[in-house]
């Protein structure tokens, strides 16, 4: 039995607590007033997360032959009628400001002449993708990390995992306080203790939940922590059925989650069947836009061809482009493929679809505010209404930047308030777990049945089977959580099972096929597009 700490460490008090160190978290921290004390809590290193993996770029209207209206229209078309018009316009119109800020910080975007080189990706009607070769996310992330490290008012806590949000009506020393979020309980893995981070403003920047699926382009950190914590705290979530499967993840036994950028198709890449099936170019059979169709259409087409022919992958061929062009535009993809024995200048790349982006999330307004006072959510964990039923390529990094600024401005406009007294974490009635195999087994089971039953193509029966298994896992995990000392693996599994439950609930409520949600039982699209909203009261 672990004794409760007689003299627990005092709370760490800050003006703003940011959970997550991707683009959303780092940008929010840097855009806050420099005289505010800011804490960034991240469960691994500051560089881990999905932002650094983004290859394509950031969509912004910068060319003379482009317009805000075109970008808005492209976003709405990709979103299959579910994009919120106000959120879409707000994001698109603030894109140039976001790019200008990144350039001021020194982000090494790829240049062309006196300006920026703009590329084009699937679903876009014009060249408007600002990029840093084929490693845009890494370039931006490194730039912001350097700025954060140099900022004296920002403290970074690595290997610190979110346990739960602190609510005034559940955990405050004085229960009569108005209901709001007061900070978070955080597991310090180095000391194996749970600390209190107290702040009048908490920002969830925890990313998506790709690890709920067996195959994903996401890093291991994408376990839906913020979405699950916000739901447990009482926030609404929306559109969790819309999981974007990136069409082209590198298919190779030694290539874990390596993405083949959307830009490869934007620059002329062609999808083909394997040689023994005649290397047939199949995308024109599925959509007149061929390889430049939105991701959901391309992913579903690949899934269809793989199942039809019983093949493990398809092939993306960009070898018709000059070698010098590929070295200039896709150096990282070329190098990674070469390490695995694939010369993309001479042969096609084997690819499969993989879970890539969580379009739904915690409901926020245009200032990043959630349903709970004191709690904001920015980035992939949020639902702003921008992405609708399918995210348009390169709108994700843009959303992070635009809403990081909006949230920072909203917090800065408020009068500074002191932190409230918070009760320390009590683990006096738990014991050290001696069955870690339970966690690993449940994690593996969850990811496999989510892939099989709640993947690219769904049916009512598959969703029922998934819901049944999720209920069993939730009961087992809750018992484990109540009895044993928490670990990061347990926290992540708890969050993933909660997110899986939200995905299935939303999918069961949508009686149509739209965007990323395709049901064999409801193959038609209803005339009126409505978001899927879940409230904690409905649990």
> What is the per-residue pLDDT across 485-510, written as a single tens digit (0 to 9) for each?
889 999 999 999 999 999 999 999 99
Same domain, 218 and 237: yes
pLDDT digits (tens, 9 = 90+) for 335-355: 999 999 999 999 999 999 999
- Note whether residue 391 is domain-resident: yes
Q: Any idea which residues carry the catalytic annotation?
A: 295
Q: What is the pLDDT of residue 2?
A: 37
pLDDT digits (tens, 9 = 90+) for 102-117: 999 999 999 998 899 9
Domain count, the chain: 3
The model's pTM is 0.89
pLDDT score of 382 more than 80: yes
Same domain, 135 and 237: yes
Same domain, 52 and 19: yes
- Note whether residue 2 is domain-resident: no
pLDDT score of 516 more than 90: yes
Look at 253 and 508; give whichever has higher pLDDT: 508
User: What CATH number is given to the structural domain containing 133?
Assistant: 3.50.50.60
- Note whether residue 383 is domain-resident: yes
pLDDT score of 538 more than 70: no
Same domain, 276 and 399: no
pLDDT score of 325 more than 80: yes
Contacts of 174 (CB under 8 A, 6+ apart): 420, 421
Look at 23 and 135; give whichever has higher pLDDT: 23
Same domain, 227 and 288: no
- Note whether residue 22 is domain-resident: yes
Domain that holds residue 324: 249-353
User: What CATH number is given to the structural domain containing 310?
Assistant: 3.90.700.10
Nearest to 311 by CA among 336, 276, 284, 356: 276
How far is it, in rounded angstroms, from Cα 159 to Cα 238? 29
Contacts of 421 (CB under 8 A, 6+ apart): 172, 173, 174
Q: What is the pLDDT of residue 172?
A: 56
Distances (CA, A) of 309 to 274, 316, 437: 10, 17, 37
pLDDT score of 427 more than 80: no
Least reliable range by pLDDT among 79-88, 270-279, 431-440: 431-440
Same domain, 16 and 96: yes
- Note whether residue 419 is domain-resident: no
Q: Provide mean pLDDT across the span 344-368.
A: 96
Same domain, 169 and 70: yes
- Note whether residue 534 is domain-resident: no
Same domain, 62 and 160: yes
Contacts of 330 (CB under 8 A, 6+ apart): 133, 134, 261, 263, 264, 318, 344
Same domain, 235 and 269: no
- Note whether residue 539 is domain-resident: no
5: confidence class by pLDDT, cuts 50, 70, 90? very low
Give helix 23-31 / helix 136-150 axis angle, nearest 10°. 40
1: confidence class by pLDDT, cuts 50, 70, 90? very low
User: What CATH number is given to the structural domain containing 494?
Assistant: 1.20.58.100
């Amino acid at each position: 039995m672990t004794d409760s700490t007689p003299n627990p460490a005092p709370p760490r008090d800050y003006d703003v607590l940011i959970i997550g160190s991707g683009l959303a978290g780092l940008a929010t921290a840097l855009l806050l007033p420099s005289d505010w004390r800011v804490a960034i809590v991240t469960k691994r290193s500051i560089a881990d997360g999905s932002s650094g993996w983004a290859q394509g770029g950031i969509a912004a209207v910068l060319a003379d032959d482009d317009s805000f209206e075109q970008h808005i229209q492209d976003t709405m078309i990709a979103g299959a009628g579910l994009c919120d018009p106000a959120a879409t316009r707000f994001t698109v119109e603030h894109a140039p400001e976001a790019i200008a800020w990144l350039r001021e910080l020194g982000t090494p975007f790829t240049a062309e002449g006196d300006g920026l080189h703009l590329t084009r990706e699937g679903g876009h009607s014009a060249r408007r993708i600002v990029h840093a070769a084929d490693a845009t996310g890494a370039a931006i992330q490194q730039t912001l990390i350097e700025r954060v490290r140099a900022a004296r008012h920002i403290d970074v806590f690595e290997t610190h995992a979110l346990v739960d949000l602190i609510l005034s009506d559940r955990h405050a020393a004085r229960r009569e306080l108005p209901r709001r979020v007061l900070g978070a309980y955080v597991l310090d893995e180095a000391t194996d203790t749970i600390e209190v981070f107290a702040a009048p403003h908490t920002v969830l920047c925890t990313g998506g939940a790709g690890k709920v699926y067996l195959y994903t382009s996401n890093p291991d950190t994408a376990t839906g922590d913020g979405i699950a914590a916000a739901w447990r705290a009482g926030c609404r979530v929306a559109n969790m059925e819309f999981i974007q499967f990136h069409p082209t993840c590198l298919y190779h036994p030694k290539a874990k989650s390596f993405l083949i950028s959307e830009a490869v198709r934007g620059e002329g890449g062609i999808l083909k069947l394997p040689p023994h099936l005649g290397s047939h170019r199949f995308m024109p059979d599925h959509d007149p836009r061929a390889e430049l169709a939105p991701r959901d259409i391309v992913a579903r087409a690949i899934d269809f061809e793989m199942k039809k022919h019983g093949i493990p992958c398809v092939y993306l061929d960009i070898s018709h482009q000059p070698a010098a062009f590929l070295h200039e535009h896709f150096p990282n993809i070329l190098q990674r493929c070469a390490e695995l024995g694939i010369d993309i200048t001479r042969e096609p790349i084997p690819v499969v679809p993989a879970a890539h982006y969580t379009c739904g999330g915690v409901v926020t307004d245009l200032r990043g505010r959630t349903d709970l006072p004191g709690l904001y959510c920015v980035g992939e964990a949020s639902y702003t209404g921008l992405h609708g039923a399918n995210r348009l390529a390169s709108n994700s990094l843009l959303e992070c930047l635009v809403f990081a600024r909006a949230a920072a401005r909203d917090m800065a406009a408020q009068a500074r308030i002191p932190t409230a007294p918070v009760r320390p974490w009590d683990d006096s009635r738990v014991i050290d777990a001696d069955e870690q195999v339970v966690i690993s087994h449940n994690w593996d089971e969850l990811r496999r049945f989510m892939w099989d039953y709640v993947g690219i193509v769904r049916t009512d029966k598959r969703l029922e089977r998934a819901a049944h298994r999720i209920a069993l896992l939730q009961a087992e995990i809750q018992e484990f959580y109540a009895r044993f000392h928490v670990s990061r693996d347990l926290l992540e599994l708890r969050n993933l099972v909660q997110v899986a439950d939200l995905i299935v609930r939303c999918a069961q409520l949508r009686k149509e096929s739209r965007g990323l949600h395709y049901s064999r039982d409801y193959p038609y699209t209803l005339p009126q597009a409505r978001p899927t909203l879940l409230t904690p009261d409905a649990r």
